[in-house]
């Protein structure tokens, strides 16, 4: 998704969610500074080298556990959206790429990263302190933002970790993207947030995020190059 197209969605999201655009811009600049200072960043070309034509993107919805119990995902690149990383690790599955704004289980993200997983870290106005704390602890980081991209901080489109991961797969050249654990229902999967111990009724802000995620994925299905499918457990 080019910046011009994303800006239309971003304007709607900011208006509905009450985000601060200037804080989002500040977060992007801070992420860039952290990556340059530590020298732990990678470029999009580095991720493209390991991409397969088929990509599985794992969301943290309630259906994720059953899908991991009943399917094998050995024939594609594996991209985990934040908390889904923990569910994969529990089954000794290592994601190739993690997409996160760092509000998931960081110990699991760091563990996967040490084992060779790329981490795509997203900057926004609400996670500046997490960026400062966690980014220096990682290696092989690709930076992303939701404002105008910078030289080493990209904007591929997408809003939540899950749909951003799908936009990333599209941008990396995937021909087929299979979404696993993307439910968009009335319950939030227990892997979605570190404090959740079980599947939980959806709360209002999450409902709004689901709405935008579905809109964006529909746009990508209609305008992207990759074939997008949903895996139903």
pLDDT in tens, 28-85: 999 999 999 999 999 999 999 889 999 999 998 888 999 999 999 999 999 999 999 9
Q: How confident is the model at residue 4 (pLDDT cuts 50, 70, 90)?
A: confident
Residue 2 has what pLDDT? 74
Q: What is the CATH number of the domain that holds 79?
A: 3.90.1480
Range of the domain at 58: 3-231
**pLDDT for 48:** 94
| The total number of structural domains that make up the chain | 1
Task: Give the rounded percent of residues in the chain with a pLDDT score beyond 70.
Answer: 93
The predicted pLDDT at position 208 comes to 87
Rg over alpha carbons for the chain, rounded to the nearest Å, is: 16
Could you tell me which of 193, 209, 189, 168 has the C-alpha nearest to residue 42? 168
Confidence of residue 210 (pLDDT cuts 50, 70, 90): confident
Model-level pTM?
A: 0.94
Predicted confidence at residue 194, as pLDDT, reads 62
* Torsion sign, CA atoms 128, 130, 132, 137: negative
Q: What value, to the nearest 5°, has the Cα angle with vertex 203 and ends 201 and 205?
A: 155
Angle at 206 between CA 68 and CA 17, to 5 degrees: 140
């Amino acid at each position: 998704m080019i910046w011009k197209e994303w800006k239309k969605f971003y304007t709607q999201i900011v208006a509905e969610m009450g985000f601060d655009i200037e804080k989002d811009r500040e977060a992007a600049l801070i992420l860039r500074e952290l990556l340059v200072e530590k020298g732990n960043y990678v470029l999009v070309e580095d991720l493209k080298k390991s991409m397969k034509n088929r990509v599985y993107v794992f969301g943290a919805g309630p259906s994720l556990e059953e899908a991991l119990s009943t399917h094998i995902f050995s024939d594609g690149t594996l991209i985990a959206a934040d908390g889904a990383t923990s569910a994969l690790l529990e089954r000794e599955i290592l994601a190739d790429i993690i997409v996160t704004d760092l509000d998931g289980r960081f110990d699991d993200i760091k563990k996967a990263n040490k084992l060779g997983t790329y981490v795509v870290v997203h900057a926004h106005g609400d996670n500046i302190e997490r960026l400062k704390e966690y980014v220096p602890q990682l290696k092989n980081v690709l930076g992303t933002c939701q404002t105008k991209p910078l030289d080493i901080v990209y904007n591929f489109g997408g809003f939540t970790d899950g749909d951003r991961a799908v936009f990333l797969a599209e941008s990396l050249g995937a021909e087929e993207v299979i979404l696993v654990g993307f439910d968009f229902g009335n319950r939030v999967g227990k892997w979605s947030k570190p404090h959740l111990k079980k599947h939980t009724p959806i709360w209002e802000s999450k409902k709004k995020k689901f709405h935008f995620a579905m809109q964006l994925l529909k746009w990508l299905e209609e305008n992207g190059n990759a074939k997008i499918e949903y895996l139903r457990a």
